A and B are shown apart, each in its own frame.
Chain A
Amino acid sequence: MRIACASLLALATTLPPIAVQVRDPWVAEPVAGRRATAAYFVLENRGSDEVRLTRCETAAAEVTEIHRVTERGGMMSMGRVDQVAVPARGRVSFEPGGYHVMLIDLRKPLAAGDRVALRLAFSDGRELVVDAPVRRREAR
């Protein structure tokens, strides 16, 4: 017991501080009648090692997937990606026309003003839960 406690203490003290921060999370209000939408945020890595986002889950949708819009020869295409690397002391923006988390088969309709909890899991074993407001898209 004493050894186990000591090991746990050792583990806790050797874990590095949380390197990645999630900023400005939001979920786009789904287009009326649609059961899918997208979540966006900015990942900031303050650590000295690359960290990868490996999962983003929410109770608001049956399925979540990380997607990326890419352009090839003028054609915009959306495809699923397994993970997204955030470089050491770097940042990655999830934004319209780029990376986003697809919320597929919403469990209930979402409208502007609602809030959605997103659980993000990273390659360093950390998990972060953020509270994302649902907003209408804004024109650029």
Chain B
Amino acid sequence: MGLRRFRVAFTGAFLVAACRPAVDPSVAGLRGGDFTLTSHEGKRVRLSDSRGYVRILFFGFASCPDVCPTTLTRLVRVRELLGADAGRMRVLFVSVDPDRDTPEALRSYLAYFKLDVMGLTGTRAEIDRVVEAYGASYEIEPSGSAAGPNVGHTTELLVIGPDDRLVTSLSQGENAEEVAAAVRRAL
């Protein structure tokens, strides 16, 4: 009897722990944290300027013809799914291709999507610090393609809570419903 009670108590404790982990395993070991970059409007902005909102941060580049438009289109759908909560989310698109991605290039690219999204660029060193802090990576290699150099990048969506803390990381495989649910949990 005593043993059974212990089992129930133990299972209960486990469930609570599973529902509210202290650190999401997907972001364990990542520093995250504040940073300063240049927005698509040419202004210097900090992550903490948008404190109070859930931020979805991801890395990409404006000449990206396949993966980045697919991700941005999914986020437009996430915004629709969030309904009244959509105004509590901000999307941050950090370029890993600052040689081509001037603020103006980011502005014209992102204006296509019906989304409250801020394009961010900067010096290579500034971008590399953000890439490292958020556990991302990228590579730029010369290619024989007329499309320019091959730019490879990680595609996780990093969810940052209203208190600027990194909450979780979502893979490219998560659909719009799953991303919207993660945003709601972070609100």
A residues touching B (Cβ–Cβ < 8 Å)? Answer: 28, 31-34, 36-38, 62-63, 65, 67, 69, 72-80, 96-97, 100, 102, 104-105, 136-140
Binds A, one of B3-11, B82-90, B121-129, B135-143: B135-143
A38 to B147 alpha-carbon distance, docked (Å): 11
B77 close to chain A: CB less than 8 A: yes
Binds A, one of B17-25, B33-41, B45-53, B66-74: B66-74
Knowing A33-B108, A75-B153, A140-B175, say if A104 contacts B70 (CB, 8 Å). no
A47 to B137 alpha-carbon distance, docked (Å): 43
Knowing A105-B146, A137-B69, A137-B70, say if A76 contacts B77 (CB, 8 Å). no
Say which residue of A62, A75, A139 sits within 8 Å of B176 (CB atoms).
Answer: A139
Say which residue of B66, B77, B112, B113 sits within 8 Å of A96 (CB atoms).
Answer: B66
A-chain residues with CB within 8 Å of residue B150 when the two chains form the complex: 77-79
Say which residue of A34, A65, A75 sits within 8 Å of B152 (CB atoms).
Answer: A75
A65 to B66 alpha-carbon distance, docked (Å): 14
Whether B66 lies near A100 (C-beta < 8 A) is yes
Output the nearest chain A residue to B81 by Cβ-Cβ distance.
A139
Knowing A31-B112, A137-B73, say if A97 contacts B67 (CB, 8 Å). yes
B residues touching A (Cβ–Cβ < 8 Å)? Answer: 62-67, 69-70, 73-74, 76-78, 108-109, 111-113, 137-139, 143-147, 150-156, 171-172, 175-176
**Contacts A/B (CB < 8 Å), 8 sampled:** A32-B111, A34-B109, A65-B145, A67-B147, A73-B137, A96-B66, A97-B172, A137-B73
Whether B147 lies near A138 (C-beta < 8 A) is no
Interface centre among A73, A76, A102 (most CB of B within 10 A): A76
A28 to B70 alpha-carbon distance, docked (Å): 10
Whether B69 lies near A104 (C-beta < 8 A) is no
| A137 vs chain B, min Cβ distance (A) | 4
Knowing A75-B152, A78-B150, say if A102 contacts B73 (CB, 8 Å). no
Whether B147 lies near A65 (C-beta < 8 A) is yes
A36 to B151 alpha-carbon distance, docked (Å): 15
Output the nearest chain A residue to B108 by Cβ-Cβ distance.
A33
Knowing A32-B112, A63-B146, say if A139 contacts B66 (CB, 8 Å). no
A37 to B63 alpha-carbon distance, docked (Å): 9
| A126 vs chain B, min Cβ distance (A) | 26
Output the nearest chain A residue to B175 by Cβ-Cβ distance.
A140
Output the nearest chain A residue to B171 by Cβ-Cβ distance.
A74
Whether A69 lies near B67 (C-beta < 8 A) is yes
